[in-house]
Structure 1
Amino acid sequence: METRSRVLFVRAGLPEPALNVEIHDPDGGWLATSDLVWREGRVVGEYQGAHHFGDYGRGDDDIARRRLIEGSGWLFVDFTKGDYYARPRRLALLRRLAGHLDCALDPAGLAAIEDSLELPGPPVRPCGA
């Protein structure tokens, strides 16, 4: 779902995020490794799969990680498969990220995405390219 979401974000006109990037505090200390990172905008995107909801320890770790990241001045946006598949949630997520990244969504890309359950068209680029 991280890959599907990344492709969705790029198709909608958002800048391509870096993947599985370490986030550090101002002194260089490691805070977390995050799924999707837009360094220039200081925005972290985290996909929350089913395994994030199954046990207290994992949930506690997720909350602590989010607090550390936000406490270092980053914006934290989490999302689930419902944010990908449910049209209103998909559009809200794209608009929220565009606002955080201070960029406009691509009207043609957004129009193609609005009514689609799956991503339209071929991959953004071949794997390994």
Structure 2
Amino acid sequence: MGEVFLGGEAVAAGRMTRHELRRWYEPIFRGVYVPKGSEPSLRDRAIAAWLASGRRGVVTGVAASALHGAPWVDPGHAIELVGVSCRPQPGLVARAEAVADDEVTRRSGLPVTTRVRTAFDLGRHQPRPEALARLDALMWNQRYAIDDVLALAERYPRARGVRQLRELLPLVDGGAASPQESRTRLWLIDAGMPRPETQIPVAKGSRTVAFLDMGWEGYMVAVEYDGDHHRKDRRQYVKDIARLRMLEDLGWIVIRVIAEDRPSEWLARVEAALVSRGCRIEPNEVQRFVRTYAA
């Protein structure tokens, strides 16, 4: 996009007058400007947040995951900073939490939390379903060591959200191909289903003909999340139906999940399919509560 700068610095250096600053530029954060009419990228907004912190903050959270290459991050997502305290403002979240030198690296010229510290922060500060989806996405493009994240939990045992982080880390799966798939998988686990595998290859003879979003290969039961584009694109819809019939011919039971479905409905279909294939499911009290909530 181009220029991201501190307006006061630009005026003091004689690069422009205050009149020119107000006429041709607009603030993105307090005191930080971009050209009017521009569409700042996530990197631009991360630079702006860092400048707004007095060049003291370290980019973390969802923005840091995107700078590390994680997919499915909206450019307009709030920028989180760690290691600094500054006045709150829309689109910028600053946390005065400790961050050690070995937890900081550089991406796009910015101080950014390492992949492991980013996972540590994602798992603590995001709501539980979103946290798992972001941890999965960070694992999707390049693996990080769960044990290293747990080591940070030992380093900061009193940090906010550590309990949630510890609960989620064993569930992280880099095979989730979208945030919706991560949330679907979490519903399954929370409702008492066996933990599903992801990206299951399906062979026909010696040839792999499909990869299933998630499921249980031993029972030949799969769950597939269908986005809106699958139903709105006629050709894609026809391909999906043909694929479903092929999988059924190969012996698979496939439960399709769409955004409008109530979780209780598709969870019941999944349970019925697993039980029909000999899987024994005995939900505990918490899992029964989850099912009630899903309804």
User: Under TM normalisation by the shorter chain, which class is it?
Assistant: 0.7 to 0.9
- Equivalent of residue 216 in structure 2, options 24, 38, 42: 38
Any idea what the Cα deviations from partners look like across 1:1-47, whole Å, max 9, x if unmatched?
1110101101111011111221112x232221111121011011110
d(CA) in 2 for partners of 1:62 and 1:39?
20
> Which protein shows a greater Rg?
2
Name which of structure 1's ranges 7-16 and 98-107 shifts more when overlaid on structure 2. 98-107
CA contact (8 A) 2:264 2:294 kept: no
| 1:15/1:28 CA distance change after superposition, 3 Å | farther
RMSD over aligned CA atoms reads 1.8
- The share of aligned pairs that are identical, in percent, is 26
2:272 equivalent to 1:99 = yes
1:73 aligns with 251
CA contact (8 A) 1:95 1:105 kept: no
Instruction: Return closer, same or farther for 1:92/1:72 CA change in 2, 3 Å cut-off.
Output: same
Deviation at 1:71, TM superposition (A): 0.6
Provide the residue aligned with 2:193 in structure 1.
Answer: 14
Distance in 2 between residues matched to 1:111 and 1:76, nearest whole Å: 26
Retained in 1: the 8 A contact 2:198–2:215? yes
- Structure 1 segments (4+ residues) deviating >3 Å: none
- The answer on whether the counterparts of 1:12 and 1:105 sit within 8 Å (CA) in structure 2 is no
Aligned partners of 1:54 and 1:105: how far apart in 2? 38
* TM-score w.r.t. length of structure 1: 0.77
Q: 2:293 aligns with which of 91, 106, 115?
A: 115
- State the alpha-carbon separation in 2 of the partners of residues 39 and 101 from structure 1: 11
3-state SS, counterpart of residue 238 of structure 2? helix
Q: Does the 8 Å contact 1:31/1:68 carry over to 2?
A: no
Gaps of 5+ in 2: 1-179
